Structure 1
């Protein structure tokens, strides 16, 4: 196999805010693996919260280039096992693992969801995320993008009022994500009002390591609570089962499709709801997430919808959430010129 990296800075259509940061662009690294004229693509975005930069991703992937290029093209799980023994981040592993699966599926001329024995006859609709901002800006963003399900970023002392204002303009399903900004008592109190406002669940209300607080929330919250920052890798799933009703898996954080498949299986065996989320990826990363759709209860794969301009073609999401899968195998991705 031949390995290459392709750095990009993605421009967002709107400034995007969460409780701890705000940004207008997103750096991302595309890894490509080519074998016998066929190319697979994977992606990992930079992330200051986890200390990941475009430069660190490039250094890590360059460090394992010889190892990757010597690996067989028909064994993505074997490659991931090999990479798990190397001193690189899960973000770098994700880009390589995703590319290996895309290449494998393209060589088989079969989409990954079919290779995994699943059907796209039914799948959850992705939410569309409304970044944290003033009420007026958040309403305007929502009205600009009519959608059946919204995820609303929160993290202020006026969060319930923000959701109440948004509710006046739509009857869509709401999900809220506090990105670790609340405390246990605040979560329990907010949930009562949010349930009345048609919120489906709360994502990661407490800091990732506040397990004592989450145990309190899990027993007293009137809404289901999903883990995000508390559920990074496979080993976190079992612990989260005691404190959350479900998990939100991020491919970049766990290390790619290979561990995500195992996390889905483990969570379901523990009776948990399963969601896969994005990190503002282009259609490269989003098309990989889409292959998991038949196995999920919820999905947040709106990353490419938030961009001013995409860098790839692949899975396409139409208004209302219908997903169009390309004819190509694998994840179906092609980089645009």
Structure 2
């Protein structure tokens, strides 16, 4: 008989993660284990920075869902159908689905990407994200961690960020620059003032991620015709389908397993985004090597990878990912 378990784990960060919507030095993620007759799979639920999670309610929702499952589950699609019908947070849905798929992989003696029916990268080139900080602190952070080994650097910004900061960091770093505002700019006027100050860097900037709140549907429609630097949707894309809406407002979409709520949903989002000629990025939350190695299973085919979440941790409870010269390498899951 299959047994399910949900456990919280506190992750301690190696530095303060400061972004437009909040900051943290430690974070509690939740891990789902599914086990039967010696075979086991584990999945990770990682919620957004500053998102308030009630552990009692989360556990009650988990217990209720597990109690509703048949004694003998079918394939992953069967579980995914049940998850999509359940009123569970997307991150918990992903932890449940991925735990079961990892269990099936061990049971069938296959790699996870084989169970999913997708190609797999031997190694993956990730960007590294820098939190919001002052210029001198940022320079020290960059040098102490030797971030020049990465080919892309993502700078977190907010509406108080001086464009001169971007210019000076671009002088320190020779690679590609990516900017992430996490909905920090209230209006197009404020954002466009910021962007105009970066015009001489536009050939080095891959994109700006989610400058306005996701609720600003009409403003994004207008901004698409005003901007000179590509726009990447993040908070605007959660677990919904990728539709014409995104072409009209963005140049690309940031797909995250924790937002999509599952491997299969994220792969559908990727396929649809490709059909619509949108650029695609595979992103992450602050999560352990388990969550990052899970993302690596579907990384093939994305235009950009931002899978640095486990590199922020002082100690990783699931050291399944190794970073070398800005590239991620991983072994077998479970």
Same fold per superposition (TM over 0.5): yes
**1:1-337 to 2 correspondences below 5 Å:** 1-47=2-48, 50-68=51-69, 70-72=71-73, 75-115=75-115, 116-120=117-121, 125-143=125-143, 144-146=145-147, 147-182=150-185, 183-197=187-201, 198-235=204-241, 237-321=243-327, 323-326=328-331, 328=332, 332-333=333-334
Say which SS state the counterpart of residue 64 (structure 1) adopts.
Answer: helix
**CA–CA distance in 2 between the matches of 1:155 and 1:118?**
37
> CA distance change for structure 1 residues 99 and 108 in 2, over 3 Å: closer, same or farther?
same
Say which SS state the counterpart of residue 290 (structure 2) adopts.
Answer: helix
Shift of 1:190: 2.8
Say which SS state the counterpart of residue 296 (structure 1) adopts.
Answer: coil
**CA–CA distance in 2 between the matches of 1:294 and 1:285?**
16
The answer (yes or no) to whether the contact 2:118–2:298 under 8 Å persists in 1 is: no
Identify the range of structure 1 (311-320 vs 33-42) with the bigger mean alpha-carbon deviation. Answer: 311-320
Say which SS state the counterpart of residue 62 (structure 1) adopts.
Answer: helix
**CA–CA distance in 2 between the matches of 1:50 and 1:210?**
21
**CA–CA distance in 2 between the matches of 1:253 and 1:285?**
12
Say which SS state the counterpart of residue 207 (structure 2) adopts.
Answer: strand
Shift of 1:295: 2.2
**CA–CA distance in 1 between the matches of 2:189 and 2:58?**
39
Off by >6 Å, runs of 4+ in structure 1: none
The answer (yes or no) to whether the contact 1:3–1:68 under 8 Å persists in 2 is: no
> CA distance change for structure 1 residues 302 and 53 in 2, over 3 Å: closer, same or farther?
farther
**CA–CA distance in 1 between the matches of 2:32 and 2:131?**
28
**CA–CA distance in 2 between the matches of 1:237 and 1:29?**
31
Unaligned runs of 5+ in 2: none
Shift of 1:173: 1.2
Say which SS state the counterpart of residue 30 (structure 1) adopts.
Answer: strand
Give the total of aligned pairs.
326
> CA distance change for structure 1 residues 56 and 71 in 2, over 3 Å: closer, same or farther?
farther
> CA distance change for structure 1 residues 141 and 254 in 2, over 3 Å: closer, same or farther?
same
Say which SS state the counterpart of residue 198 (structure 2) adopts.
Answer: helix
TM-superposition CA deviations, 1:133-174 (whole Å, max 9, x none) = 112222222222322211110003333122112122111211
**CA–CA distance in 2 between the matches of 1:32 and 1:237?**
34
Q: TM-score, with normalisation over the residues of structure 2?
A: 0.91
Shift of 1:243: 0.6
The answer (yes or no) to whether the contact 2:6–2:33 under 8 Å persists in 1 is: yes
The answer (yes or no) to whether the contact 2:21–2:49 under 8 Å persists in 1 is: no
